[in-house]
Structure 1
Amino acid sequence: MGSKTVFSDRSKEERGARLTTVDLSEFDVPGRGRGLLDVLRWRYLLRLLVRKGTATRYRNSVLGWTWSYVKPGIQFLVYWLVMGFIFGMDRGLENFPVYLFSGFVAVNFFNEAFGNATSSIVDNRALVKKIYLPRELFPIAAVWVAFVHFLPQLAILLVVCVLTGWIPTFAALGAALLGMLILGATSLGLGLFFAGLNVRFRDAQNFVEILRMLATWASPVLYTWTLVAEKLPEWVLYVYMVNPLTIAVEYFHYAFWQPTIPDERFHGFAPHFELYTAGAVVLCAAFLVIGQLVFRRFERSFAQDL
């Protein structure tokens, strides 16, 4: 009887030893990842989320993707009528429709990407509560979907620019690409920040709506930066120009509006614009870092809060 007990204890120890020698290096700790770095490992799932977002946006809609042209078109006409004819900007600024539309599509991209990223976790609560996957995939997919919906507006802008004498140059294309990158990074960083907050505090969504409403007026879309320099103190101009949205809109103006007007009618960039651009890039990086930290802080309780 004693020998059986010794043999049984020895067997348990051997089984325990074998279990402890199992290689666990290929296993992930459930519920925690490497943040934005995990997106590279989950590229296939990111593509699925983007495909889902683009396919379901206008599902059961009669006009379908036509809404991507109709809604921004109506908004543009309203701003053009108000700012162009009522306030006279159409007479004071050469080729004002292209100036307005080039800034308008940039702000539209930011607003949609920022808003979608903020609500991405709440909108995908079923997946978040049931399975583990890097939660950052949802805000990133939301920004990509916004970029896909931005392309039809960009196509219309290009057609209008070509009809008004636009000739593409490497400088113009580079400015447009830089503007898009700034918009994407800013919307993703702020989207991560507010997406984490929005799961626990739904007031965050309302605050984001206010920021989106102010975005059009806080950047030179309906007016020029020279008006800010003339009407407001100098320190306000510094803060205004470091705004990443302002920098991105100005690059869009340089890329699409400036080639369609005579050189002497171009008001030019603000003094020290390269320094403002560097400051905007630093802010974009700060938004991404802070947004990721806040997102991961609230990520621990996503399933419970949802």
Structure 2
Amino acid sequence: MKVIDLTSEALATPGLGGGLRDVLRSRYLLKLLVSKELKVRYRGSVLGLLWSYVKPGVQFFVFWFALGIFLGLNKNTENYPIYLFSGIVLVNFFTEALSNASRSIVINGGLIKKIYLPRELFPVASVWVSAVHFFPQLVVLVAACLFTGWRPGIPELIAAVVAFSIVAMLAIGLGLFFGSVNVYFRDSENFVDMLLMIATWASPVLYPWTLVRDGLRDAFGASAGQVLLTIYQFNPLTIAVELFHYAFWAPTTSSATDPASVVPPDLIFVWTPIALVTAILVIVAGQFTFRRLEGRFAQEL
């Protein structure tokens, strides 16, 4: 007669998986979810994926007229359209990814209640779909940069990849956190919307970082202004946007021989490692929260 050891490690808490490792093992399922989201989103749409060009294009022209023409940033910032668009495409990727990821568990509640599959697939799939929308915009940005004399080197290309990686990790980590919390507290959706509204203005997307430096110094004095500027730079999204400026905008300016001269000091060797570590910690915190809460997803949904 076979004796079953009830203390064996074979027993596991129902509803708990291996975390993001299961996403790597379930790449085929991830591909299916991404395909499903794209088909559902554009079902009955006339323009389809062309909306990836239309929406950021309209947003760009609105900001360019309002800030570039009316407020004069077009005159005070060299190649301001490139500066503006390079920030917009990256922040749009973040806002779309986090917004969809934070709602992904609730939206897919019917599927979660019927079968078991790694629940992390849903936030990650939402970020992946946002990346699909991001790359057409990136193509437009690259074409515009080439038209204005963009000749990137290896450091600029690496900076662009690192910036995208920082934003993707932030979106996944925050998406895991808010996606799981949203199952229990639907107010999380409103908090995320408020956070995303702030994100565009809390990073140097529409304005150069020097305006922040000078404004803080004039308002609070040199020492306090420097402290507040340091806090401002601890935002990983700020660093990612500046890396995109370093990669795409700076080589098109009169400082093309030294792109680092038009971005914040210590951007590459100090703030970029800090932003990467912060993004990794956000993923760890998001995964920890997700795993603590996912056991009751089916019951709560």
- Secondary structure of the residue that 1:300 maps to in structure 2? helix
Instruction: Report what 1:240 is aligned to.
Output: 232
Q: CA deviation at 1:165?
A: 1.1
1:268 to 250, 259, 262: 262
1:73 to 53, 57, 69: 57
Whether 1:289 and 2:284 are equivalent positions in the alignment is yes
Identical counterparts, % of pairs:
53
Residue 40 of structure 2 is aligned with which of 49, 56, 60? Answer: 56
Per the alignment, residue 196 of structure 1 pairs with 180
Once the two structures are overlaid, the 10-residue window that deviates more, 24-33 or 154-163, is 24-33
User: Which runs of 5 or more residues in structure 1 are unaligned?
Assistant: 1-13
User: 1:11 is matched with which residue?
Assistant: none
Q: 1:260 corresponds to which letter in structure 2?
A: T
Q: Which residue of 1 aligns with 2:222?
A: none
What does the per-residue CA deviation read over 1:219-260, in whole Å, with 9 as the maximum and x for residues that have no partner? Answer: 111111111111111111111112110111011111111111
Tell me how many residue pairs correspond in the alignment.
288
Mapped partners of 1:249, 1:56: distance in 2: 31
**Correspondent of 2:105 among 121, 124, 142:** 121
Within 1, Cα distance between the matches of 2:178 and 2:248? 32
- Looking at structure 1, the residues matched to 57 and 160 of structure 2 have their Cα atoms a distance apart, in angstroms, of 21
The answer to whether the Cα contact below 8 Å between 1:143 and 1:188 also exists between their aligned partners in 2 is yes
Q: d(CA) in 2 for partners of 1:244 and 1:118?
A: 19
Equivalent residue, structure 2, for 1:158? 142
- 3-state SS of 1:166 partner: coil
Q: Is the 8 A contact 2:14 2:295 kept in 1?
A: no
Q: Deviations over 1:251-287 (max 9, x none)?
A: 1111111111111796523223222222211211111
Q: Which amino acid is the alignment partner of residue 88 of structure 1? A: G
Residue number in structure 2 paired with 1:138: 122
SS in 2 for 1:216: helix
Structure with higher Rg: it is 1
Separation (CA, whole Å) in 2 of partners of 1:209 and 1:142: 16
Q: Distance in 2 between matches of 1:151 and 1:269?
A: 24
Q: TM-score, normalised by structure 2?
A: 0.91
Q: Unmatched 5+ residue regions in structure 2?
A: 217-224
The one of 228, 242, 246 equivalent to 1:254 is: 246
SS where residue 262 of structure 2 aligns? coil
Q: In the alignment, is residue 222 of structure 1 matched against residue 201 of structure 2?
A: no
CA distance in 1, matches of 2:131, 2:116: 26
CA contact (8 A) 2:82 2:144 kept: yes
Normalising by the residue count of structure 1, what TM-score does the alignment of the two structures yield? Answer: 0.89
**1:50 shift after superposition:** 1.3
Which residue in 2 is equivalent to 1:298? 293
Give 1:107 shift: 0.3
Contact conserved, 1:94 with 1:261, CA < 8 A, in 2? yes
Deviation at 1:26, TM superposition (A): 8.4
For residue 91 of structure 1, what is the aligned residue in structure 2?
75
Once the two structures are TM-superposed, the CA of residue 56 in structure 1 deviates from its matched residue by: 2.1
**1:60-113: CA deviation from partner (whole Å, max 9, x where unpaired):** 111111111111111110000011011100000101000000011010011011
Check whether the contact 2:255–2:262 (CA below 8 A) recurs between aligned residues. Answer: no
Deviation at 1:38, TM superposition (A): 1.2
**2-structure distance, mates of 1:25, 1:289:** 24
Cα distance in 2 for residues equivalent to 1:288 and 1:246? 18
Please report how far the alpha carbon of residue 30 of structure 1 lies from its aligned counterpart in structure 2 after TM superposition: 3.8
